[in-house]
Amino acid sequence: GTYDIDGVMGSGFKSQKDRMYDIVRLIKEQSRDGRIKRKDLVIHAAELNIEERELDNYLRKLQDEGAIFEPRSGEYSVL
């Protein structure tokens, strides 16, 4: 299934929602065994002009809302 990011972001800026969609997509597409290391995610996010600090903020938001989780420290998976 897909995650309803609109529920997470409410009436937030479309660009924030788009970036969060991009991050979830990156985790899905670039993961190995369902997980991606943070360092790899930083590299792929930079290709989308998402800075590391910004990525960390989005990762926290996505975790808080249950869209992603951290099965091991520094690794992310989509629920």
The pLDDT of residue 4 is 57
User: What are residue 7's phi and psi, to 5 degrees?
Assistant: -65, -35
The pLDDT of residue 44 is 95
Checking if the pLDDT of 5 tops 60, the result is no
pTM surpassing 0.85? no
Domains of the chain: 12-78 (1.10.10.10)
The pLDDT of residue 30 is 92
Give the Cα separation of 75 and 67 in Å (integer): 14
**Cα–chain center distance at 39:** 13
Which residues lie closer than 8 Å to 41 by C-beta, 6 or more apart? 23, 26, 27, 30, 55, 59, 76
Q: What is the pLDDT of residues 10-41, one digit of tens each?
A: 545 558 889 999 999 999 999 988 999 999 99
Helix (H) or strand (E) run with residue 13 in it: none
